[in-house]
Chain A
Amino acid sequence: MSDTQAGTSPYRIYWITWAILLVITVAMLAAEEFHMPRWFLLVFLLVFMMVKAVMIAGNFMHLRYEKRNLGIMVGLGILVTSLILYGFVSRESAHVLQQTIR
């Protein structure tokens, strides 16, 4: 692990990650208070949600120290499958809503 170099506490990365995650969480909660456009809030929350997920997987789960193909299998596998599933679900929900309104 790169953070076990001489002079650096091996636990430092966890404290830093923890602090950043807390700051992001507070920012996400505070964002609701600023009456910003809905689309902006949506993008803001989704982007920071992904940043938090990457930080947990990379620093807490040590994925950044693993071989790249493990990270690709995990990250890309879950992301692509979820997006495909959401694509189908989204189309279907719009169809169902239209049918219900009629």
Chain B
Amino acid sequence: MHDGGQAAVMEAHWGGGAAPFGATWQKTMMWIFIVTDALLFSGLLCGYAFLRQAAIQPWPKQSEVFSIPFIALMTFILITSSMTMGSAVTAARLGDHKKARTMLAITIFGGLCFLGCQAYEWSHLIHEGARLTGALPGSTLAAEGVPPVFTQAFFVLTGFHGSHVLSGLIILIVTLVRWSMRKTPSQGVEMAGLYWHFVDLVWVFIFTLFYLL
């Protein structure tokens, strides 16, 4: 490519214009939304870091409070659903209507399983005395010396993430219905996919920073 052409491409990609990212406006807006949502989780995780670093009580060992194999199962479910979502996007792009529908349905099933696991984990911890304000006096968790900031961080982080999974599931169900009725183009599946992968991405950070570290 000669210099003039190169300059024109650079101008188009870096200097603004109609398509500065070389993507459709729908995809650009979706990415901007994802960045803002990621910053929300960044703020929440930094808040968690603050609570943990400023805590005067020792931070409990996660494996003594949670069942880590169970959390690993949740991670497996989410990663698998992300893989099937990626396959759904590619199938939709290639015009394989049936495969895209099947993959979307499997992704929704995975999301439901994840939410079910989260509901089980929450109810289990609440049963052990965990509350948003801290462990109930006299409960199992209080006996283990779990500080209030631990349960606060747990409910806020997993609660926000769970609400994103729920909204992602609603988006996926609407997309599946519209795709089955041939009312949405492949780009609709791609946008739903971007959001679903983002939910998986956030879990990678929560899983490592809250459950493992």
Which A positions have Cβ atoms within 8 angstroms of B? 1, 4, 10-11, 13-15, 17-18, 21-22, 25, 28-29, 32, 42, 45-46, 48-49, 52-53, 56-57, 59-62, 66-67, 69-70, 73-74, 77-78, 81-82, 85-86, 89-90, 92-94, 96-97, 100-101
Q: Are A28 and B86 closer than 8 Å at their CB atoms?
A: no
With most chain B CB atoms within 10 A of its CB, the pick from A59, A61, A89, A94 is A61
In the complex the two chains form, what is the Cα distance from A26 to B196 in whole Å?
Answer: 22
Q: Are B208 and A69 closer than 8 Å at their CB atoms?
A: no
Q: A86 contacts which chain B residues (CB < 8 A)? A: 46, 49
In the complex the two chains form, what is the Cα distance from A52 to B197 in whole Å?
Answer: 12
Q: Please, what's the 1-or-0 string for B201-213, where 1 marks a CB less than 8 Å from any CB in chain A?
A: 1001100110011
Is the C-beta of B1 less than 8 angstroms from some C-beta in chain A? Answer: no
Partner of A78, one of B42, B76, B197: B42
Shortest CB distance B39–A (Å):
6
In the complex the two chains form, what is the Cα distance from A61 to B35 in whole Å?
Answer: 13
Shortest CB distance B104–A (Å):
14
Chain B: CB-nearest residue to A3: B90
In the complex the two chains form, what is the Cα distance from A100 to B55 in whole Å?
Answer: 9
Can you list 21 A-B contacts with CB-CB less than 8 angstroms, sorted by A residue number? A15-B83, A18-B80, A22-B76, A22-B79, A25-B75, A28-B208, A28-B212, A29-B68, A32-B212, A45-B212, A49-B205, A53-B201, A56-B201, A59-B86, A60-B82, A74-B31, A77-B35, A81-B42, A82-B45, A89-B47, A93-B50
What are the nearest 4 A-B pairs in CB distance? A93-B53, A18-B83, A67-B22, A93-B54
In the complex the two chains form, what is the Cα distance from A78 to B85 in whole Å?
Answer: 24
With most chain A CB atoms within 10 A of its CB, the pick from B28, B56, B75, B208 is B208
Interface of B is mostly: helix
Q: Are A93 and B49 closer than 8 Å at their CB atoms?
A: yes
In the complex the two chains form, what is the Cα distance from A15 to B22 in whole Å?
Answer: 27
Partner of A61, one of B20, B49, B194: B194
Q: Are A56 and B197 closer than 8 Å at their CB atoms?
A: yes
Is the C-beta of B181 less than 8 angstroms from some C-beta in chain A? Answer: no
With most chain B CB atoms within 10 A of its CB, the pick from A32, A89, A100 is A89
